[in-house]
Structure 1
Amino acid sequence: MDDPERIAREQIACDLANNNTVPPTGLYCEGTFDTWLCWPHTPANTTAYAHCPVFVPGFSTELLAYKECTADGTWWRHPDSGKPWSNYTTCVKPEEDVSEVIVLYETGYSISLIALLVSLAILTYFKSLRCARITVHMNLFASFALNNALWLAWYGMVVNNADIPKENPVWCRFLNAILQYALLTNYTWMLCEGLYLHTVLVSAFVSERRLVRVLLAAGWLLPVPSAIIHAARRTASDDPFCWADDGAPRPELAVLVCVTVILNLAFLCNIVRVLCTKLRAGGGAGIARPSATALHALRATCLLAPLLGVQYLLTPFRPERDASWWRAYEYVSAIMTSLQGLCVAVLYCFCNGEVLAQLRRKWRVLTFRPRANSTTNTTVSFVRSAGAGGGEDKV
């Protein structure tokens, strides 16, 4: 870890060791400390090796990192950063390499993002679909799209660039903070879906316009305090590696997630109870039967509510890297987590009867209008031609 006290202590020890070491003859690279390891004076055109640091998560200390001294007596510089570079990619055992898992995450998030953007485009295009319920759906889509886009940025700019976590710049910590906020909005907007259904089906006499305003504020603002506390705590503790870790969820984040999931399940249980009562009554005695659209939204919410909790429910059971089922766990977690946005789009848009009806209507207009015009023109021409011909026969 990039602990300032450790860095200062090991910097002094490294300088002392290199000052007390006789440098090699001829051209050589001067010994240096790269904040992780101390590298000795090294002859030109050779490579220095050192055991991987113990404090970096995922590194195996029995493996070796290396640093190249070029032919002109300078440490090799990375072409992207232009800075002297030490190779720590060899510190991860092949069986512990997570590059395939990262590819799974990137693929899943990309698919989900495309599906969500298409859903938003469809709901924006068809003005006739606009209502309070669709507004809630669109905000849910937007929260997932934001979350997926930020995850793709995180993998592309931080995870796939070994130097960035080590340097721990401000922008990557800010990206992590925004990412945690976006993740929390998924849960608060899923809660808004459940709250909307509960209010509309259980409390019939409610102003939907006022309800939507309340949900808009709750969906986007509820995660703010948790995200701010999380960022403040990590800033105060000076956490390294762009605040990326594989440990248990932070309490300030986990509490909000657990509360939203539990409340949503409570809402859904009460909704099911009320619907069963209405269905048994058969719509008699002035009791309105629930619409097919409401039932579809309820089914979608019932399916998604537990699905969104999987990410946090699986974390306590995460195996150690040396466990036989560690890789299987990572694959399952990557698939289920990254494709949540796709599930949201499918359940609330692509399987929505109203949306499908609008798409079918639009498709018929685009497909059959030219053919109908062509048939009409042909018929008119035929009638005129026949009429003209009949006149000539009478003459």
Structure 2
Amino acid sequence: MELIVEERLKQCTESPDVVKNSSSPAEARAEGDDGRLFCPQVFDGWSCWAKTAAGGVAETACPDFITGFDPSRLAHKVCNSNGTWFTHPESGKPWSNYTTCVNLEDLEWRRQVTKIYETGYAISLAAIIASLFIFIYFKSLRCTRIMLHINLFISFATNNALWILWYRLVVEQPSVLSDNEVGCALLHISLHYFLLSNYFWMFCEGFYLHILLVATFTSEDKLKKWLYLCGWGLPAVVVVLYTTLRITDHDPLETSECWIHESKFNWVLVVPVCLSLAASFTFLCNIVRVLIVKLRAGPHVGSGPSPSALQAVRATLLLLPLLGLHYLITPFRPESTTHPLLKTYEVLSAVFTSFQGLCVAFLFCFCNGEVITQIKRKWNLHVSQFRPRASSFTAATTVTFIRSTAAPLPGEEKV
């Protein structure tokens, strides 16, 4: 932002009668050839105000580099009747009115959308943490497939937590945006790294299922190493490239205001995500084909897919379109800010994006048959500890009573 301000100052100072940040009425007063008073051209730190006749009002477009300002609106500055710019009664310094630059209705709407994001991420984070606890607590669930679920959930949990921090500490704090310190830029980079890792671990889920059903004779240890490299390593390469491009670019908007502005290098992030989703979809199509062939062949031909594998395939098939839905609807975003469907798009985008973690938790954990079985077994063991047990005396008394009141057996004589 400093570079933009310097450029605007340079353009403004090309005029010989410009006054920079003048606070003295004597310096601010100018007189024309006809004896009329004028407020001279002045730069207030954001905008250049033209020479204005005494008693008039100068107007200029709102600066587009200030977050929250609408550049289509006009700011104004009052020139007093004595040829001096209006001074604020509290500060006693010349004051420009930028309050009209903020669309209060649009600001309130964006706050509501932000609340949807925060609520969705918070609920998803709670569900994912609960799922992680379940996977880690039950040792009988530990296998390569659950290992994939755990890493996928870790990436989702971290990403959701970072999004909440981003909205609370950056988006809702104009001072943080204007300061543009290194910390908020690192938060932006970390956020996009874990966002990418979500989709790469989703790719690992589909790839592992494909290997499990198509190439059954694969070393688990070697496979795990490649999965870890893909899930955590490839996103790091992509994010390093994305960061390097933004830092080395000469456009000041690329590295201003905590990198909150839409970047022309977003394709570096979008392309790998789309490729991973396309690859996962290809894997799942082949998995479905293999399953159909095995099921048609009957139970006597080959071992056939296990019920847990079938359930994992169903969950992945349901989850994949959900994770890719956000990117599928992005090209259809209305460009005009006055489009009647823009608000509908923003709400749907907020819901689909922020509640992804909740859907992942339900499909891979809460609706997982193995998990449900383990929880029921643990619950039954817990309940059985509190059930009253009959003592040996009570049991003997009960048997004696039943025997004494029963009908005599053949050969016996009832007394």
TM over 0.5: yes
Taking the aligned partners of 2:126 and 2:21, their CA distance within structure 1 comes to: 57
Over the matched positions of the two proteins, sequence identity in percent amounts to 42
Taking the aligned partners of 2:76 and 2:177, their CA distance within structure 1 comes to: 17
| Residue 303 (structure 1) aligns with | 318
1:175 aligns with 2:223: no
Is contact 2:67-2:174 (8 Å) kept? Answer: no
Query: In the alignment, which of 59, 63, 81 is matched to residue 53 of structure 1?
Result: 63
Is contact 1:52-1:88 (8 Å) kept? Answer: no
1:359 aligns with 2:369: no
Is contact 1:65-1:91 (8 Å) kept? Answer: no
Q: What whole-Å deviation, never above 9, does each CA across 1:308-342 have from its counterpart, x for those lacking one? A: 11222222111132101100000000000001111
**Long gaps (5+) in structure 2:** 28-41, 51-57, 78-85, 400-415
Is contact 1:116-1:145 (8 Å) kept? Answer: yes
* TM-score, length basis structure 2: 0.78
Is contact 1:180-1:227 (8 Å) kept? Answer: yes
| Residue 43 (structure 1) aligns with | none
Q: What whole-Å deviation, never above 9, does each CA across 1:346-368 have from its counterpart, x for those lacking one? A: 00000000100111111112223
Amino acid at match of 2:322: L
Query: In the alignment, which of 16, 22, 25 is matched to residue 23 of structure 1?
Result: 25
Q: What whole-Å deviation, never above 9, does each CA across 1:75-124 have from its counterpart, x for those lacking one? A: 99xxxxxxxx9976951351463111000000000000000000000100
**Long gaps (5+) in structure 1:** 26-30, 41-47, 77-84, 388-395
Taking the aligned partners of 1:386 and 1:312, their CA distance within structure 2 comes to: 70
Matches within 5 A, 1:292-331: 292-320=307-335, 321-331=337-347
Amino acid at match of 1:23: P
Is contact 1:65-1:88 (8 Å) kept? Answer: no
Taking the aligned partners of 2:102 and 2:167, their CA distance within structure 1 comes to: 20
| Residue 125 (structure 2) aligns with | 113
Query: In the alignment, which of 203, 207, 215 is matched to residue 215 of structure 2?
Result: 203
Query: In the alignment, which of 268, 281, 290 is matched to residue 284 of structure 2?
Result: 268
Taking the aligned partners of 2:352 and 2:100, their CA distance within structure 1 comes to: 28
Deviates more, 1:62-71 or 1:110-119: 62-71
The alpha carbon displacement at 1:233 in A equals 1.3
1:132 aligns with 2:144: yes
Taking the aligned partners of 1:248 and 1:322, their CA distance within structure 2 comes to: 24
1:350 aligns with 2:366: yes
Query: In the alignment, which of 67, 92, 112 is matched to residue 103 of structure 2?
Result: 92
Taking the aligned partners of 2:322 and 2:19, their CA distance within structure 1 comes to: 55
Amino acid at match of 1:315: T
Is contact 2:21-2:43 (8 Å) kept? Answer: no
The alpha carbon displacement at 1:170 in A equals 1.4
| Residue 134 (structure 2) aligns with | 122
1:71 aligns with 2:70: no
- SS of 2:73's partner is coil
Taking the aligned partners of 1:353 and 1:282, their CA distance within structure 2 comes to: 24
Taking the aligned partners of 1:221 and 1:164, their CA distance within structure 2 comes to: 31
| Residue 392 (structure 1) aligns with | none
**Structure 1 residues 386 and 201: alpha-carbon distance in aligned structure 2, compared to 1, 3 A threshold:** closer
Aligned residue pairs total 361
The alpha carbon displacement at 1:24 in A equals 7.5
**Structure 1 residues 364 and 90: alpha-carbon distance in aligned structure 2, compared to 1, 3 A threshold:** farther
- Select the structure of larger CA radius of gyration: 2
Taking the aligned partners of 1:73 and 1:189, their CA distance within structure 2 comes to: 59
The alpha carbon displacement at 1:247 in A equals 6.3
Moved over 3 A (4+): 11-16, 18-22, 31-34, 36-40, 48-51, 54-59, 63-76, 85-90, 246-249, 383-387
The alpha carbon displacement at 1:58 in A equals 6.0
Q: What whole-Å deviation, never above 9, does each CA across 1:124-164 have from its counterpart, x for those lacking one? A: 00011101110011001011111101101100110111122
**Structure 1 residues 19 and 301: alpha-carbon distance in aligned structure 2, compared to 1, 3 A threshold:** closer
RMSD, matched Cα: 3.3
More helix by share: 1
